[in-house]
Amino acid sequence: MSQPPVSTHPYIGLWVTEDGNIRHELLPNGRYDEARGSITSAYTGSYTITGDHIDYIDDTGFTADGDFREDVLYHAGMILYRQQ
């Protein structure tokens, strides 16, 4: 089964920690923008999604990954929920 283009992927959108402190936006162009507290764009970079797994490459070269399970994103010890 082929992977849908990033621009139409169902995981595109805003993911937020329960306390709202970390807001992680997966943009349709394959980029992400992460806000922390009052700091907007604290981290930015690109991402790729394969199945339910996501790989990140920060603009500084730092890499990280995560997994989507039952509409929850588990990333770097954080749990993020889809923001509607």
pLDDT tens per residue across all 84 residues of the chain: 445 555 678 999 999 999 999 999 999 999 999 999 999 999 999 999 999 999 999 999 999 999 999 999 999 899 999 997
pTM, rounded to two decimals: 0.88
Q: Are 26 and 34 in contact (CB under 8 A)?
A: no
* Residue 1 counted as domain residue: no
pLDDT of 68: 98
* 7: three-class secondary structure by DSSP: helix
In a domain, 10, yes or no: yes
- Provide the residue range defining the domain that includes 70: 6-82
Q: What is the pLDDT of residue 23?
A: 97
Task: Please count the structural domains in the chain.
Answer: 1
